[in-house]
Amino acid sequence: MGTWTSRGLRGSALEDYINHTNEQYRNRGLALIQKIPTPITPVKIDKEQRHITLAYFDQRSTVDYIGAVQGIPVCFDAKECAADTFPLQNVHRHQVDFMEEFERQSGIAFLLILYTGRNQLYYMRFRELKKFWERMTGGGRKSIRFEELDPGFFFSLKNGCFVPYLEEIQKDLDKRE
């Protein structure tokens, strides 16, 4: 079981950028997306500093973000990848299951992946994630090569910190019709 001091809960530049973007989208009335906190149980607390120094996860988290864009339910997870191969171990079965159920309810589920070595973002539609997931669970490759990704869903940060994912959601919607 992971703890508060584990790798999974160290801050993420991508999450900071997304949080900033979500605030901008909210201020403009374009979307209401919120970061879902991971439920924890504190074990050690520094009473002088009033900080949690050690905690355990209460339960598995689903996705990082959830909300609505112009009346459309949206959920997504943010991932960072330093190499040109994205390990599917970074996505958990319970996340895939949640995203699949979310899509069945007419929502849009996706991953935002920052390829830090290339400084490129990728919007991975749930259908695409599901294809790679099924390949892995069927005994195939356990990672996704950069070259396997749809070139139409790569995008860049704007002004160094704005993640324009609404444009990618529109592309996703257009492909569904």
Is residue 107, in this structure, part of any structural domain at all? yes
User: Which CATH number characterizes residue 38's domain?
Assistant: 3.40.1350.10
- Which residue positions form the known binding site? 62, 64, 77, 95
Domain residues for the domain of 108 are 7-176
In a structure prediction context, what are the per-residue pLDDT tens digits for the chain, which is 177 residues long? Answer: 344 344 444 448 899 999 999 999 999 999 999 998 765 566 677 777 777 676 555 556 689 999 999 999 999 999 999 999 999 999 999 999 999 999 999 999 999 999 999 989 999 999 999 999 999 999 999 999 999 999 999 999 888 779 999 999 999 999 987
Query: pTM for the full model?
Result: 0.83
Q: How many domains does the chain have?
A: 1
Is residue 131, in this structure, part of any structural domain at all? yes
3-state DSSP call for residue 54?
Answer: strand
Is residue 1, in this structure, part of any structural domain at all? no
Give the distance from CA 7 to its chain's centroid: 16
- Which residue positions form the known binding site for Mg(2+)? 62, 64, 77, 95
